[in-house]
Amino acid sequence: MYQTSKFILLCLMLVVSLLQLGTATAGESAGGININNGQTIFNEGKGDAAACQGCHGEKALGNDAMGAPRLANIGQAYIIKQLTEFAADKRTPAGAGAAMNGFAKALNEQDRRDLAGFLNTLDYEIDPSDLKGLATDGNKVGDPKLGKIIVTQGVKGKVPACQDCHGFNARDPRFPAINQQKFVYLVNQLNSWRDDSRANDPMVANVGIMRGIAKKLSDDDIVNIAAFLSTAPRISPEGEIMPALKKN
Q: Which residues bind ligand HEC (CB under 6 A)?
A: 9, 12, 41, 49-50, 52, 54-56, 66-69, 71, 74, 79, 81-83, 93, 96-97, 99-100, 103, 115, 150, 159-160, 162, 164-166, 175-176, 178, 181, 185-186, 188-189, 200-202, 209-210, 213, 225
Cβ 226 vs Cβ 147: under 8 Å: yes
Closer CB to ligand HEC, residue 225 or residue 243?
A: 225
Which residue is nearest to ligand HEC, using beta carbons? Answer: 97
Minimum gap (Å) between residue 197 Cβ and ligand HEC:
9
Rg value, the chain, Cα: 17
Closer CB to ligand HEC, residue 179 or residue 243?
A: 179
Q: Give the Cα separation of 222 and 52 in Å (integer).
A: 27
Minimum gap (Å) between residue 19 Cβ and ligand HEC:
10
Count CB atoms within 10 A of the CB of residue 30. 6
Minimum gap (Å) between residue 39 Cβ and ligand HEC:
11
Q: Give the Cα separation of 47 and 199 in Å (integer).
A: 28
Cβ 11 vs Cβ 164: under 8 Å: no
Residues sharing a CB contact under 8 Å with residue 7, sequence separation 6 or more, in sequence order: none
User: Which of 16, 128, 134, 126 has the alpha carbon at shortest distance from 72?
Assistant: 126
Closer CB to ligand HEC, residue 32 or residue 243?
A: 32
Minimum gap (Å) between residue 134 Cβ and ligand HEC:
16
Minimum gap (Å) between residue 18 Cβ and ligand HEC:
14
